[in-house]
Homo-oligomer: A and B are copies of this chain.
Amino acid sequence: MTHYAIGIDIGGTSAKLALVRGDARIITKTSVPCDSRSHWRGLLADMAEAAAGLAKGRRILGVGIGCAGCIDVVGGIVRFSPNLPRWRNVPLRAFMSDRLGLPCVVDNDVNMMALGELRYGAARGALNACCITIGTGVGGGIIIGGNIYRGSGMTAGEVGHVPVVPEGIRCVCGSRGCVERYIGKEGIIRLARTAMRGKHSILAGKGPLTPLAIERAARKGDPAAGLVWERAGYYLGLLLVGIVNVLNPDVIVVGGGIANAGDLILAPARNILRERALKIPARHVKVVRSALGEDAGAIGAASELFPPYALRSRRGHIKKG
Q: Which residues of A contact B (CB under 8 A)?
A: 70, 126-128, 140, 142, 144-145, 149-159, 161-166, 173-176, 238, 241-243, 245-250, 275-281, 284-285
Q: Are A151 and B248 in contact (CB under 8 A)?
A: yes
B241 touches A163 (CB 8 A): yes
Which listed residue (B174, B242, B249) contacts A276, Cβ 8 A? B174
Are A158 and B245 in contact, CB atoms less than 8 angstroms apart?
yes
A182 CB to closest chain B CB (Å) equals 10
A-B interface, 6 closest residue pairs, ranked by CB to CB distance from nearest: A151-B248, A175-B276, A156-B248, A158-B245, A162-B242, A153-B284
In the bound assembly, the distance between CA atoms of A278 and B151 in angstroms comes to 13
Besides the known contacts A157-B246, A165-B166, 5 further A-B residue pairs in the complex with CB atoms under 8 A apart? A70-B280, A140-B246, A151-B249, A158-B278, A163-B238
The reply to whether B162 and A246 contact each other, CB–CB distance below 8 Å, is yes
Copies of this chain, count: 2
Closest to A248 in B: B151
Query: Which residue on B lies nearest to A149, using beta carbons?
Result: B144
Q: Which of the residues B156, B161, B241, B247 comes within 8 Å of A151, measured between beta carbons?
A: B247
Complex contacts, A276 vs chain B, CB 8 Å:
163, 174-176
Q: How far is the CB of A9 from chain B (nearest CB, A)?
A: 22
In the complex, chain B residues whose CB is within 8 Å of the CB of A245? 158-159, 161-162
In the complex, what residues of B have CB within 8 A of residue A144's CB? 144-145, 149
- C-alpha gap A281/B249 in the complex (Å): 22
Q: B residues within 8 A CB of A250?
A: 152
> Which residues of the other chain, B, contact A249 by a CB distance below 8 angstroms?
151-152
Residues on B with beta carbons closer than 8 Å to the beta carbon of A152: 126-128, 248-250, 281, 284-285
Whether A280 contacts B155 in the complex (CB less than 8 A), given A164-B166, A242-B162, comes out as yes
Whole-angstrom CA separation of A250 from B151 in the bound complex: 8
A285 surroundings in chain B (CB, below 8 A): 152
